[in-house]
Amino acid sequence: MKVKFHLGSTQAVPILLWQTLGQLLVAFCLVALTVRLPLWRRLAFAGATLAFHWLFLDSVYFVLITLIGIGGLMGRGTPAFRLVLWCVLLGFLSQLKFTYGVISGAAVGCAFLCWIARGAPGRAALVVVAFGLSVLGAWVAAGQNPDNLYPYVRRSLEISSGYGDAMGFDESWPLFLSGAALALLGAVFVWKIWSTLADPTEAPFAALFLGFVLLVMWKESYTRADMVALGGHIFGIFTFAMILGPVLPGLLYPGRRWHPVDAVLPLCMLAIAWFDADYYRQGPRVAWERIYGNVSSLRHLGSLARDWEGDYASARAAATLPAIKAAVGQGTADVYDFNLGTAILGGLRLSARPIFQGYSAYTPSLQGYNLRHYQSSRAPDFILWDRETVDNRYPGLDDAPLVAGLKGHYEALFPEQDVWLFRKTSSLPREPLLRREVLSRTLRLSDEVDLPTSIDHALWLEADPIPTLLGRLRAMAYKPAILNLATTDRLGRRSVWRMLPRLSRAGFILVPTVANGGDVAALLHGESRSWVKSFHFETPAGQEEFWSRVVVRVSALPSLPLRPAPELPWLVQLGIFDHVPLDVTSAEQQQVIEVPEGRALLLHAEGEALLAVPSGARQLSFGFGLRDGAYTGVGHTAGVDFTLDAVWASGRRERLWERFLDPVAQAGDRGTQAAVVRLPAEAPQRLILHTGAGPAKDYRWDWSYLSRVRFGGPGAL
């Protein structure tokens, strides 16, 4: 389910103030920092900013912080009050994004060392104190407790440390070669600053700061080197270089009219033509539309909040989940995947875990924060579970300890538009996850591992990939190499998944494959619809030399017993259902059996088949009965109650049909029975076919089954 994020008119005044006055302040500061440059440099700077900044919006802030660091904080003649003003601005920008805070801190640190080298300890102290007070003041002004500042920094550093492993994304060769050439030019320029700058007290610190910013931009751009239509992370270093290219030589070498770095702008434009020629077909139009759109928005500033509220209402209507809303009521809810708009736009009381988008819990430590949230009294009353993940990660890798601990503490309710709802029965225990080792070995890439054929519990895989020396160097200077997990299931189907080395070392559920909420619901019922028979590790072509070996350990999880269940699409292929059920569960192992009328699904009571009602359906027909042996020979069933309930999107539930079979006492209840049930005129959203024990509540011989479940259209009766 795709949900559009929207805030409506919430905090409209602060947002509009920032979008107008704040952005004007940024523009004013950029002008103030470059006002002494020659006219052509200022024009080139303005033109490059307007033409390219939108390809990666963070670039403007990186440029601003870089210019403040070099032109504002290290300039020998900068008055003390300007030093304070620049530090106040850096402290404010540090609140917007952790990376801004990092490079702002680097700017202040290098400026401090620069003023110490000049023999001005007072100026050095002024820079540090002004920045520190500004960071703290902006933090408190944002409504944060000062005690939260250190945990924020610590957690942000933890997220940053795992970002490369988790979010690395490879680029094409033209992109890599263009970026590598640009990085090499940047390194040469940094060296020239160090060795040729006229002010020897500024040279090493300006070079150090600029080198650090270039490294951050290189990592920012090339770790997740995605390129979307007219933009993407990969453009970060190019837009940064194109905007700063005409400026830095003028600031650092004011006596020179031309400098080799001036060639960066046209060279980057040539590189873009090489790897994204589409920019020159659409880029100018997009840039103009952004300028025109900003001017138009300023003219209608007073009505923007009202317009946003209208957009918000439309987004809420598109994202509505009425059945889930009715079930959750005033309870709290968390969203397992990254689409928090499911809960926010749905009007639910969001109780998100600390790392609130599970894919962002890049390290075991971050996963631990989320697990402890569910082990506390703050655990949400409900969980919404969609099928979305990022980068084709192996399902269940995100927040793996949390997934493994849900059984017995959350129960599956129902799905709505592919979103499953789970309800808390108790908080997760604090005891560590129990594991029983099944196998342990060291693998080379492509070594196949066959799993035991008889599995009665979920399997937990811990995989420790060991990089080669070349792999370690690549990770340090560029980004970690990609490692994939290739699995083969019991039907012989092969799948390749993205692995996250830091998380795989801690472990995750390998069997079953919990690809969506329905798989989680089956797991909580003790069933597995997917069964990995074997696996091996591999890399994309050309990256084999970066990995030495993988140390693996497979363990059974005693807390998660399993029995195999038929895959839902397979039930359609066998002719038992004519539409794929939303979910099928039973108290005992599900089996496909033969009855005189054909194939049937053994759905031992208590059992349940959850069906989505297709558009235009007017009736449901199905066969039902108790398997021969439940009432012959030693079999002595006490009877099974078959029911059909309808559920509407509003949460309303109504019984449409019921039949109790007692084949021991009633000969007419033996064999396959037939039912045809007309659906209400107001079509329900889903149907629930349920098998339950009779009045005696004796389940021992309740071998109930369903067959030929069919929806019919108008006039089918």
DSSP letters of 162-187?
HHHHHH-B---HHHHHHHHHHHHHHH
DSSP letters of 183-239?
HHHHHHHHHHHHHH-S-TTTHHHHHHHHHHHHHHHHHHHHHB---BTTB-GGGHHHH
pLDDT of 345-399, one tens digit each?
888 999 999 998 888 899 999 999 999 999 999 999 999 998 767 888 998 899 9
Distance CA 328, CA 407 (A): 20
- The mean pLDDT of 78-92, rounded to a whole number, is 95
The alpha carbons of the chain give a radius of gyration, in whole angstroms, of: 31
Q: pLDDT above 70 covers what percent of the chain? A: 97
pLDDT of 28-41, one tens digit each?
999 999 999 999 99
pLDDT at 120: 95
Structure tokens given for 298: 């300023």
Distance CA 586, CA 607 (A): 4
**Closest to 660 (Cα-Cα) out of 696, 636, 617, 610:** 696
- The mean pLDDT of 428-433, rounded to a whole number, is 91
Structure tokens given for 461: 């895989």
How would residue 697 be classed by pLDDT, with cut points 50, 70 and 90? Answer: confident
Cα 480 to chain centroid, rounded: 19
Structure tokens given for 241: 């270089």
- Kindly report which listed range (145-149, 634-638, 671-675) carries the lowest average pLDDT score: 634-638
Asked whether the predicted pLDDT for residue 263 surpasses 80, the reply is yes
Whose tokens are 């009521």? That residue is 329
- The mean pLDDT of 438-454, rounded to a whole number, is 93
8 A C-beta contact, residue 185 and residue 264: yes
pLDDT at 387: 73
Structure tokens given for 137: 């003041």
Distance CA 545, CA 491 (A): 32
How would residue 6 be classed by pLDDT, with cut points 50, 70 and 90? Answer: low
pLDDT at 566: 81
- Kindly report which listed range (276-280, 302-306, 487-491) carries the lowest average pLDDT score: 302-306
pLDDT of 312-338, one tens digit each?
888 787 777 888 998 999 999 999 988
Sign of CA dihedral 397, 398, 404, 408: negative
Structure tokens given for 665: 């006492």
How would residue 7 be classed by pLDDT, with cut points 50, 70 and 90? Answer: low
pLDDT of 151-179, one tens digit each?
999 999 999 999 998 988 888 899 999 99
Residues spanned by CATH 2.60.120.1060 within the chain? Answer: 568-712
To the nearest whole number, what is the mean pLDDT of the chain?
90
Phi-psi region of 245 (alpha: psi -120 to 50; beta: other; left: phi over 0): alpha
pLDDT of 613-626, one tens digit each?
998 999 999 999 99
pTM of the predicted structure, to 2 decimals: 0.84
How would you list the strands of the sheet with 382-385, edge to edge?
Answer: 349-350, 332-335, 382-385, 419-424, 410-416
How would residue 716 be classed by pLDDT, with cut points 50, 70 and 90? Answer: very low
Cα distances from 175 to residues 166, 227, 229, 235, 475, in angstroms, run: 21, 10, 15, 10, 18
Element at 709 (helix H, strand E): strand 704-712
Residues in the chain: 717
Query: At 539, phi and psi to the nearest 5?
Result: -130, 165
pLDDT at 715: 47
Q: pLDDT above 90 covers what percent of the chain? A: 65
Beta strands 527-528 and 563-564, pairing class: parallel
Element at 343 (helix H, strand E): helix 341-344
Does domain 568-712 correspond to CATH entry 2.30.30.100?
A: no
Asked whether the predicted pLDDT for residue 717 surpasses 60, the reply is no
- Kindly report which listed range (210-219, 309-318, 338-347) carries the lowest average pLDDT score: 309-318
Distance CA 685, CA 506 (A): 41
